Amino acid sequence: MSHPIYTLRRGTAPLLISLPHDGSHVPEAIAARMHPHGQRSVDTDWHMARLYSPLAEALGASLLHPLASRYVVDLNRPADGQALYPGRRETGLVSTIGFDGEPLYLEGQEPSSEEIQQRVNAYWRPYHDALSQELERLLAEHGRVVLWEGHSIRSRVPMLFEGQLPDLNVGTADGASCSAGLQQRLSGVLQAQSRYSHVVNGRFKGGYITRHYGNPPKGVEAVQLEMAQVNYMDEDSFAYDEAKAAEVQLTIGRLLRECLA
């Protein structure tokens, strides 16, 4: 289903894959007020839809992803702008800095509180309405649904974490967003392979979507996978690497199948 704000492909399995940072489009009126690196949307979770689409199709999963950049509004932040990791430096709902700590906007061109609310209404709410409705549809049909949050980030981002990020970072809000059984099975998949370094509930424990929608007692389990981009693309040129992507898709596919087990 095409929508000006997002693309939703409905599936038949009790699995919804959400890719809230896949979009890279910055509307012209916003881009005109930004520095060049902001206009390029350099902190996009590049190629997530390309990576996940064949997996979703093979498994019969629903797939939801936006068109606009996280610089327009971050769909994985609460609409009131509260911090996800209090006490740590991080970007916000409508961030004025990038992951390198540099300003995104030209001096004096930052969005006002009124503009931020307009972006929430125009971009954030439609995406979350679609996400909620699709979860409700799948839950009504199957009695249980897994929400999989697909994310990626550069392997080294000094503002957010020290050193190099593990290849695969599973977040379940410290076990609150999914059942202990599912978390254990996902950990087992990661431990059984030796290709990728991994951690569960490390630096990335799951963002707003994982924490807000995950409700195991009501049949909704939510898991976030934050992947280091070096595993499927060139982090400097943003070019997709077919060979690397095909390899990591095998491991992601095993994780997704455990969600359907």
Is 110 within 8 Å of 38 (Cβ atoms)? no
Amino acid at position 96, single letter = T
Domain ranges of the chain: 6-260
Task: Identify the pLDDT of residue 116.
Answer: 97
Compute the average pLDDT of residues 127-153: 98
pLDDT score of 213: 98
Residue 248 DSSP SS3:
helix
Q: How confident is the model at residue 83 (pLDDT cuts 50, 70, 90)?
A: confident
In this structure, the strands spanning 62-66 and 15-18 are: parallel
């916003």: which residue's tokens? 30
pLDDT at 1: 63
Mean pLDDT of 142-160: 96
Q: Which CATH superfamily is domain 6-260 in?
A: Zn-dependent exopeptidases (3.40.630.40)
Count CB atoms within 10 A of the CB of residue 250: 11
pLDDT at 189: 97
In this model, does residue 88 exceed pLDDT 80? no
Per-residue pLDDT band at 2 (split at 50, 70, 90): low
The pLDDT score that the predictor gives to residue 157 is 92
Q: What pTM did the predictor assign?
A: 0.96
User: How much is the mean pLDDT over the chain?
Assistant: 96
